[in-house]
Amino acid sequence: MVVFRAPIFALLVGLGTSVFADDSFWDQVQIHGFGSQAAVRTSDNRWFGDSPDTSFDFTELGLNASARLDPRLLLSGQVLFRRAGDMYNGDPVLDYGLADLTLHSSAESRFGVRLGRIKNPLGVYNETRDVPFTHPGIFLPQVVYFDRVRNLVLSTDGGMLYAESYNDFGNLSLTIGTGQAVIDENVEWAYVFGDFAGDMKPNGNTWISSFWYTNPSERLKLGLSGATLSIKFEPDSMPFPSLGAGKTNIVYWILSAQYNAEKWTLTAEYAREPLQWRGYGPLFPERDVTGEGYYLQGTYRVRPNLELLARYEEGFPDKDDRSGRKREAATGGLLPANFGFSKTFTAGIRWDINPYWMLRAEYAYNDGTFNLSGRENPDFAELARYWSLFSVQVAFRF
Protein backbone atom coordinates (compact mmCIF):
# COMPACT_ATOMS: atom_id res chain seq x y z
CA MET A 1 0.00 0.00 0.00
CA VAL A 2 1.34 3.44 -0.95
CA VAL A 3 0.91 5.94 1.87
CA PHE A 4 1.42 9.71 1.61
CA ARG A 5 1.37 12.22 4.46
CA ALA A 6 1.48 16.02 4.06
CA PRO A 7 5.29 16.27 3.81
CA ILE A 8 5.46 19.87 2.69
CA PHE A 9 8.21 20.83 5.13
CA ALA A 10 10.26 17.78 4.19
CA LEU A 11 9.89 18.79 0.55
CA LEU A 12 11.16 22.26 1.35
CA VAL A 13 14.19 20.85 3.14
CA GLY A 14 14.82 18.53 0.22
CA LEU A 15 15.18 21.48 -2.10
CA GLY A 16 18.26 22.55 -0.19
CA THR A 17 18.83 25.28 2.31
CA SER A 18 20.84 27.21 -0.23
CA VAL A 19 17.66 28.04 -2.13
CA PHE A 20 16.17 29.84 0.86
CA ALA A 21 19.42 31.62 1.66
CA ASP A 22 19.27 33.31 -1.73
CA ASP A 23 17.61 36.75 -1.57
CA SER A 24 15.90 36.02 -4.90
CA PHE A 25 13.82 33.32 -3.21
CA TRP A 26 12.25 35.78 -0.78
CA ASP A 27 11.45 38.08 -3.69
CA GLN A 28 9.19 35.34 -5.03
CA VAL A 29 7.25 34.82 -1.79
CA GLN A 30 3.66 36.05 -1.67
CA ILE A 31 1.67 36.15 1.56
CA HIS A 32 -2.07 36.74 1.75
CA GLY A 33 -4.75 36.31 4.36
CA PHE A 34 -8.43 36.63 5.09
CA GLY A 35 -10.92 36.67 7.91
CA SER A 36 -14.67 36.40 8.29
CA GLN A 37 -17.29 36.61 11.00
CA ALA A 38 -20.92 35.51 10.66
CA ALA A 39 -24.07 35.83 12.72
CA VAL A 40 -26.53 32.94 12.31
CA ARG A 41 -30.15 32.74 13.45
CA THR A 42 -32.48 29.76 12.98
CA SER A 43 -36.13 29.27 13.87
CA ASP A 44 -35.31 25.73 15.10
CA ASN A 45 -32.37 23.28 15.16
CA ARG A 46 -28.71 24.18 15.69
CA TRP A 47 -26.60 25.45 12.78
CA PHE A 48 -23.01 26.50 13.47
CA GLY A 49 -23.66 27.00 17.17
CA ASP A 50 -26.64 27.88 19.32
CA SER A 51 -28.42 29.49 16.38
CA PRO A 52 -31.98 29.56 17.83
CA ASP A 53 -30.58 32.22 20.19
CA THR A 54 -28.36 33.72 17.45
CA SER A 55 -24.88 32.27 17.07
CA PHE A 56 -21.64 34.14 16.48
CA ASP A 57 -19.66 30.89 16.44
CA PHE A 58 -18.73 30.94 12.76
CA THR A 59 -15.32 32.60 12.46
CA GLU A 60 -12.49 32.02 10.00
CA LEU A 61 -8.94 33.40 9.90
CA GLY A 62 -6.60 32.17 7.18
CA LEU A 63 -3.01 32.85 6.21
CA ASN A 64 -1.56 31.51 2.98
CA ALA A 65 1.80 31.80 1.27
CA SER A 66 3.31 30.77 -2.04
CA ALA A 67 6.77 30.86 -3.56
CA ARG A 68 7.83 30.07 -7.12
CA LEU A 69 11.37 28.72 -6.85
CA ASP A 70 11.70 28.57 -10.62
CA PRO A 71 9.22 28.63 -13.53
CA ARG A 72 8.42 24.94 -12.98
CA LEU A 73 8.18 24.68 -9.19
CA LEU A 74 5.58 26.34 -6.98
CA LEU A 75 5.29 25.88 -3.21
CA SER A 76 2.07 26.94 -1.48
CA GLY A 77 0.21 26.37 1.76
CA GLN A 78 -2.49 27.72 4.03
CA VAL A 79 -3.13 27.60 7.77
CA LEU A 80 -6.73 28.12 8.86
CA PHE A 81 -8.19 28.99 12.24
CA ARG A 82 -11.84 27.91 11.94
CA ARG A 83 -14.53 28.05 14.57
CA ALA A 84 -17.83 26.55 13.40
CA GLY A 85 -20.23 25.77 16.22
CA ASP A 86 -19.55 22.39 17.81
CA MET A 87 -17.85 21.06 14.67
CA TYR A 88 -14.60 23.08 14.73
CA ASN A 89 -13.15 24.81 17.78
CA GLY A 90 -10.75 27.30 16.19
CA ASP A 91 -7.53 25.29 16.53
CA PRO A 92 -5.11 25.95 13.63
CA VAL A 93 -5.12 23.32 10.87
CA LEU A 94 -3.20 22.94 7.64
CA ASP A 95 -5.80 23.31 4.91
CA TYR A 96 -3.25 22.56 2.21
CA GLY A 97 0.53 22.54 1.82
CA LEU A 98 2.03 21.32 -1.42
CA ALA A 99 4.74 21.41 -4.04
CA ASP A 100 3.54 21.77 -7.64
CA LEU A 101 6.10 20.68 -10.22
CA THR A 102 5.34 21.35 -13.90
CA LEU A 103 6.99 18.60 -15.94
CA HIS A 104 5.97 19.98 -19.33
CA SER A 105 4.45 23.25 -20.54
CA SER A 106 3.70 24.57 -24.01
CA ALA A 107 1.06 26.59 -25.84
CA GLU A 108 -0.90 23.38 -26.49
CA SER A 109 -0.54 21.40 -23.26
CA ARG A 110 0.77 21.19 -19.72
CA PHE A 111 1.24 18.39 -17.21
CA GLY A 112 2.82 17.98 -13.82
CA VAL A 113 2.62 16.56 -10.31
CA ARG A 114 1.56 17.89 -6.89
CA LEU A 115 2.79 16.44 -3.60
CA GLY A 116 1.73 17.21 -0.05
CA ARG A 117 -1.67 18.06 1.42
CA ILE A 118 -3.61 18.74 -1.77
CA LYS A 119 -7.06 20.19 -2.23
CA ASN A 120 -9.37 17.63 -3.82
CA PRO A 121 -10.61 18.64 -7.30
CA LEU A 122 -14.24 17.77 -6.53
CA GLY A 123 -17.04 19.69 -8.20
CA VAL A 124 -17.04 23.36 -9.13
CA TYR A 125 -16.33 24.80 -5.68
CA ASN A 126 -14.34 22.40 -3.51
CA GLU A 127 -10.90 23.71 -4.47
CA THR A 128 -11.99 27.29 -3.70
CA ARG A 129 -14.23 26.67 -0.67
CA ASP A 130 -11.50 27.62 1.81
CA VAL A 131 -11.79 31.40 1.16
CA PRO A 132 -15.11 33.28 1.66
CA PHE A 133 -14.54 35.50 -1.39
CA THR A 134 -14.23 32.58 -3.83
CA HIS A 135 -17.49 30.68 -3.36
CA PRO A 136 -21.13 31.63 -3.76
CA GLY A 137 -23.05 32.34 -0.61
CA ILE A 138 -22.09 32.16 3.03
CA PHE A 139 -22.69 28.39 2.90
CA LEU A 140 -22.18 26.09 -0.08
CA PRO A 141 -25.04 23.77 -1.13
CA GLN A 142 -24.87 21.25 1.70
CA VAL A 143 -26.32 18.34 -0.27
CA VAL A 144 -23.11 18.27 -2.37
CA TYR A 145 -20.45 20.05 -0.27
CA PHE A 146 -20.86 18.73 3.28
CA ASP A 147 -19.63 21.24 5.87
CA ARG A 148 -20.15 18.62 8.57
CA VAL A 149 -17.17 16.72 7.10
CA ARG A 150 -15.42 19.70 5.51
CA ASN A 151 -11.83 18.58 6.17
CA LEU A 152 -12.48 15.11 4.76
CA VAL A 153 -13.84 16.57 1.52
CA LEU A 154 -11.38 19.46 1.21
CA SER A 155 -7.98 17.79 0.99
CA THR A 156 -5.92 14.60 0.92
CA ASP A 157 -2.34 13.85 2.01
CA GLY A 158 -0.71 12.38 -1.05
CA GLY A 159 0.23 12.93 -4.66
CA MET A 160 -1.66 14.03 -7.75
CA LEU A 161 -0.89 13.99 -11.47
CA TYR A 162 -2.55 16.57 -13.71
CA ALA A 163 -2.65 17.19 -17.45
CA GLU A 164 -4.20 19.98 -19.51
CA SER A 165 -4.76 20.33 -23.24
CA TYR A 166 -5.64 23.56 -25.09
CA ASN A 167 -7.39 23.17 -28.44
CA ASP A 168 -9.58 25.10 -30.87
CA PHE A 169 -12.64 23.20 -29.61
CA GLY A 170 -11.87 24.03 -25.97
CA ASN A 171 -9.69 23.06 -23.05
CA LEU A 172 -9.49 19.64 -21.38
CA SER A 173 -8.03 18.81 -17.99
CA LEU A 174 -7.51 15.50 -16.21
CA THR A 175 -6.41 14.89 -12.62
CA ILE A 176 -5.64 11.57 -10.91
CA GLY A 177 -4.42 11.33 -7.33
CA THR A 178 -4.09 9.11 -4.28
CA GLY A 179 -3.25 9.48 -0.60
CA GLN A 180 -4.61 9.39 2.94
CA ALA A 181 -7.90 10.98 3.90
CA VAL A 182 -7.95 13.75 6.52
CA ILE A 183 -10.06 12.37 9.39
CA ASP A 184 -11.45 14.27 12.38
CA GLU A 185 -14.23 13.67 14.92
CA ASN A 186 -16.87 15.06 12.57
CA VAL A 187 -16.37 12.06 10.27
CA GLU A 188 -17.39 9.69 13.06
CA TRP A 189 -20.55 11.69 13.78
CA ALA A 190 -21.45 11.79 10.09
CA TYR A 191 -20.98 8.10 9.29
CA VAL A 192 -21.78 6.25 12.54
CA PHE A 193 -24.08 8.90 14.08
CA GLY A 194 -22.26 9.34 17.38
CA ASP A 195 -19.05 9.70 19.36
CA PHE A 196 -17.96 6.21 20.42
CA ALA A 197 -14.98 5.02 22.46
CA GLY A 198 -12.33 4.55 19.81
CA ASP A 199 -10.80 6.21 16.77
CA MET A 200 -11.88 6.63 13.15
CA LYS A 201 -8.95 6.27 10.74
CA PRO A 202 -8.27 5.90 7.01
CA ASN A 203 -8.55 2.33 5.77
CA GLY A 204 -6.07 2.36 2.93
CA ASN A 205 -5.65 5.08 0.33
CA THR A 206 -8.19 7.48 -1.11
CA TRP A 207 -8.31 7.66 -4.92
CA ILE A 208 -9.45 10.87 -6.61
CA SER A 209 -9.98 11.84 -10.22
CA SER A 210 -11.56 14.64 -12.22
CA PHE A 211 -12.16 15.46 -15.88
CA TRP A 212 -13.17 18.93 -17.07
CA TYR A 213 -14.07 20.55 -20.39
CA THR A 214 -14.18 24.32 -20.97
CA ASN A 215 -15.38 25.73 -24.30
CA PRO A 216 -13.23 28.22 -26.27
CA SER A 217 -15.05 31.27 -24.88
CA GLU A 218 -14.58 29.83 -21.36
CA ARG A 219 -18.24 30.47 -20.63
CA LEU A 220 -19.28 26.80 -20.46
CA LYS A 221 -17.64 24.40 -18.02
CA LEU A 222 -18.52 20.70 -17.72
CA GLY A 223 -16.98 18.22 -15.35
CA LEU A 224 -17.07 14.78 -13.79
CA SER A 225 -15.15 14.26 -10.55
CA GLY A 226 -15.10 11.72 -7.78
CA ALA A 227 -13.33 9.90 -4.99
CA THR A 228 -13.33 6.43 -3.50
CA LEU A 229 -12.18 5.78 0.05
CA SER A 230 -12.63 3.57 3.08
CA ILE A 231 -12.59 4.56 6.74
CA LYS A 232 -12.29 2.19 9.70
CA PHE A 233 -13.26 2.38 13.36
CA GLU A 234 -10.86 1.02 15.96
CA PRO A 235 -12.77 0.64 19.27
CA ASP A 236 -11.27 0.92 22.71
CA SER A 237 -11.20 -2.52 24.34
CA MET A 238 -12.05 -1.42 27.88
CA PRO A 239 -14.44 -1.84 29.49
CA PHE A 240 -16.53 -3.09 26.57
CA PRO A 241 -16.60 -1.76 23.01
CA SER A 242 -19.95 -0.19 22.16
CA LEU A 243 -19.18 -0.39 18.47
CA GLY A 244 -17.29 -3.12 16.64
CA ALA A 245 -14.16 -2.77 14.54
CA GLY A 246 -16.03 -1.88 11.37
CA LYS A 247 -15.39 -0.01 8.18
CA THR A 248 -17.35 2.29 5.90
CA ASN A 249 -16.69 2.20 2.16
CA ILE A 250 -17.49 5.40 0.28
CA VAL A 251 -17.72 6.25 -3.40
CA TYR A 252 -18.49 9.90 -4.09
CA TRP A 253 -18.88 11.47 -7.52
CA ILE A 254 -20.21 14.77 -8.89
CA LEU A 255 -21.48 15.71 -12.34
CA SER A 256 -21.07 19.48 -12.84
CA ALA A 257 -22.15 22.16 -15.31
CA GLN A 258 -21.66 25.91 -15.19
CA TYR A 259 -22.38 28.71 -17.66
CA ASN A 260 -21.03 32.24 -17.24
CA ALA A 261 -22.52 35.22 -19.04
CA GLU A 262 -21.66 38.89 -18.67
CA LYS A 263 -24.02 39.51 -15.77
CA TRP A 264 -25.17 36.10 -14.60
CA THR A 265 -23.88 32.62 -13.81
CA LEU A 266 -25.90 29.40 -13.79
CA THR A 267 -24.55 26.34 -11.96
CA ALA A 268 -26.00 22.85 -11.56
CA GLU A 269 -24.46 19.79 -9.93
CA TYR A 270 -25.60 16.25 -9.23
CA ALA A 271 -23.83 14.01 -6.70
CA ARG A 272 -24.14 10.36 -5.68
CA GLU A 273 -22.54 8.60 -2.74
CA PRO A 274 -22.79 4.79 -2.57
CA LEU A 275 -22.03 3.69 1.01
CA GLN A 276 -21.35 0.36 2.70
CA TRP A 277 -21.15 -0.32 6.45
CA ARG A 278 -19.41 -3.55 7.48
CA GLY A 279 -18.40 -5.15 10.79
CA TYR A 280 -19.68 -2.63 13.34
CA GLY A 281 -21.59 -5.26 15.26
CA PRO A 282 -25.25 -5.73 16.27
CA LEU A 283 -25.71 -2.10 17.32
CA PHE A 284 -24.97 -0.97 13.77
CA PRO A 285 -26.12 -3.63 11.26
CA GLU A 286 -24.45 -4.01 7.88
CA ARG A 287 -26.21 -2.13 5.11
CA ASP A 288 -25.77 -0.58 1.68
CA VAL A 289 -27.33 2.71 0.62
CA THR A 290 -26.75 5.35 -2.03
CA GLY A 291 -26.95 9.00 -1.06
CA GLU A 292 -27.98 11.61 -3.59
CA GLY A 293 -27.90 15.39 -3.83
CA TYR A 294 -28.41 18.05 -6.49
CA TYR A 295 -28.93 21.76 -6.82
CA LEU A 296 -29.60 24.53 -9.33
CA GLN A 297 -28.10 27.93 -8.58
CA GLY A 298 -28.16 31.31 -10.27
CA THR A 299 -26.24 34.49 -9.51
CA TYR A 300 -26.92 37.87 -11.08
CA ARG A 301 -24.51 40.81 -10.97
CA VAL A 302 -26.64 43.94 -10.62
CA ARG A 303 -23.43 45.96 -10.57
CA PRO A 304 -19.79 44.85 -10.55
CA ASN A 305 -19.82 45.01 -6.74
CA LEU A 306 -23.39 43.81 -6.08
CA GLU A 307 -24.59 40.24 -6.68
CA LEU A 308 -27.85 38.39 -6.05
CA LEU A 309 -28.07 34.64 -5.35
CA ALA A 310 -30.91 32.13 -5.69
CA ARG A 311 -30.53 28.37 -5.17
CA TYR A 312 -32.71 25.30 -4.76
CA GLU A 313 -31.23 22.02 -3.52
CA GLU A 314 -32.39 18.56 -2.51
CA GLY A 315 -30.50 15.78 -0.79
CA PHE A 316 -31.23 12.26 0.51
CA PRO A 317 -28.99 9.89 2.51
CA ASP A 318 -30.82 7.03 0.76
CA LYS A 319 -32.18 7.69 -2.72
CA ASP A 320 -34.56 4.73 -2.35
CA ASP A 321 -36.07 6.19 0.82
CA ARG A 322 -36.82 9.80 -0.08
CA SER A 323 -39.41 10.19 2.67
CA GLY A 324 -37.11 8.81 5.38
CA ARG A 325 -39.84 6.49 6.69
CA LYS A 326 -37.92 3.26 6.02
CA ARG A 327 -34.94 4.52 8.02
CA GLU A 328 -37.19 5.67 10.84
CA ALA A 329 -38.80 2.22 11.02
CA ALA A 330 -35.47 0.38 10.77
CA THR A 331 -33.98 2.39 13.65
CA GLY A 332 -37.07 2.17 15.84
CA GLY A 333 -37.57 5.91 15.56
CA LEU A 334 -34.00 6.77 16.59
CA LEU A 335 -33.53 8.55 13.26
CA PRO A 336 -36.74 10.47 12.47
CA ALA A 337 -38.14 10.52 8.95
CA ASN A 338 -37.21 14.18 8.47
CA PHE A 339 -33.51 13.22 8.86
CA GLY A 340 -33.90 11.31 5.59
CA PHE A 341 -34.18 14.33 3.29
CA SER A 342 -33.34 18.00 2.88
CA LYS A 343 -35.04 20.47 0.53
CA THR A 344 -33.77 24.03 0.75
CA PHE A 345 -34.40 27.31 -1.04
CA THR A 346 -31.79 30.02 -0.49
CA ALA A 347 -31.80 33.69 -1.48
CA GLY A 348 -28.88 36.01 -0.80
CA ILE A 349 -27.04 39.21 -1.63
CA ARG A 350 -23.32 40.03 -1.77
CA TRP A 351 -21.86 43.52 -1.57
CA ASP A 352 -18.16 44.07 -2.26
CA ILE A 353 -17.65 47.27 -0.31
CA ASN A 354 -14.16 47.64 -1.76
CA PRO A 355 -11.45 45.21 -2.96
CA TYR A 356 -10.73 44.20 0.65
CA TRP A 357 -14.13 44.02 2.39
CA MET A 358 -17.29 42.05 1.59
CA LEU A 359 -20.70 41.87 3.22
CA ARG A 360 -23.23 39.06 2.66
CA ALA A 361 -26.76 38.30 3.83
CA GLU A 362 -28.82 35.15 3.17
CA TYR A 363 -32.13 33.54 3.99
CA ALA A 364 -32.81 29.81 3.60
CA TYR A 365 -36.07 27.91 4.08
CA ASN A 366 -35.55 24.23 4.89
CA ASP A 367 -37.82 21.19 4.69
CA GLY A 368 -35.98 18.28 6.33
CA THR A 369 -32.83 17.93 8.43
CA PHE A 370 -30.43 15.78 6.40
CA ASN A 371 -28.13 18.81 6.00
CA LEU A 372 -27.69 19.20 9.77
CA SER A 373 -24.70 18.01 11.78
CA GLY A 374 -25.50 15.21 14.24
CA ARG A 375 -22.66 16.50 16.40
CA GLU A 376 -24.50 19.80 16.84
CA ASN A 377 -27.92 18.13 17.05
CA PRO A 378 -27.33 14.86 18.96
CA ASP A 379 -30.98 14.51 20.07
CA PHE A 380 -32.55 13.55 16.75
CA ALA A 381 -36.01 13.34 18.30
CA GLU A 382 -35.93 17.11 18.89
CA LEU A 383 -35.30 18.00 15.26
CA ALA A 384 -37.89 20.26 13.62
CA ARG A 385 -38.76 19.33 10.03
CA TYR A 386 -39.49 22.86 8.83
CA TRP A 387 -37.01 25.55 9.82
CA SER A 388 -35.59 28.85 8.61
CA LEU A 389 -32.02 30.11 8.55
CA PHE A 390 -30.94 33.76 8.37
CA SER A 391 -27.25 34.68 8.28
CA VAL A 392 -25.02 37.67 7.68
CA GLN A 393 -21.26 37.63 7.16
CA VAL A 394 -18.52 40.23 6.91
CA ALA A 395 -15.19 39.24 5.39
CA PHE A 396 -11.87 40.91 4.60
CA ARG A 397 -8.73 39.94 2.74
CA PHE A 398 -5.23 41.26 2.19
Note the pLDDT tens digit of each residue in 324-373.
999 888 888 888 999 999 999 999 999 999 999 999 999 999 999 999 99
Element (H, E) at 366: strand 357-368
Q: How far is CA 189 from CA 55, 59, 233, 303, 304, in A?
A: 21, 22, 12, 42, 41
Q: Please report, for the chain, the start and end positions of each structural domain, with discontinuous segments joined by +.
A: 8-397
pLDDT at 108 over 90: yes
Q: What is the average pLDDT across 58-69?
A: 95
What residues have CB less than 8 Å from 112, skipping those under 6 apart? 72, 100, 101, 102, 103, 104, 161, 162
DSSP code for 238:
S
pLDDT of residue 194: 84
Residue 229, Cβ density class (10 Å: 0-12 exposed, 13-18 middle, ≥19 buried):
buried
Average pLDDT, the chain: 91
Where b means 16+ CB within 10 Å and e means fewer, 4-34 reads bebbbeebbeeeeeeeeeeeebeeeeeeeeb
pLDDT of residue 1: 37
DSSP bridge partners of 220? 259
- In percent, the amount of the chain with pLDDT more than 70 equals 92
pLDDT of residue 152: 95
Note the pLDDT tens digit of each residue in 226-252.
999 999 999 887 666 678 899 999 999
Q: Enter the pTM of the model.
A: 0.90
pLDDT of residue 7: 43
Asked if the bond preceding 304 is cis, omega within 30° of 0, the reply is no
pLDDT at 13 over 60: no
Note the pLDDT tens digit of each residue in 138-154.
999 999 999 999 999 99
| CATH number assigned to the domain covering 8-397 | 2.40.160.10
Element (H, E) at 328: helix 325-330
DSSP code for 71:
T
Residue 17 confidence class, pLDDT cut points 50, 70, 90:
very low
pLDDT at 2 over 90: no
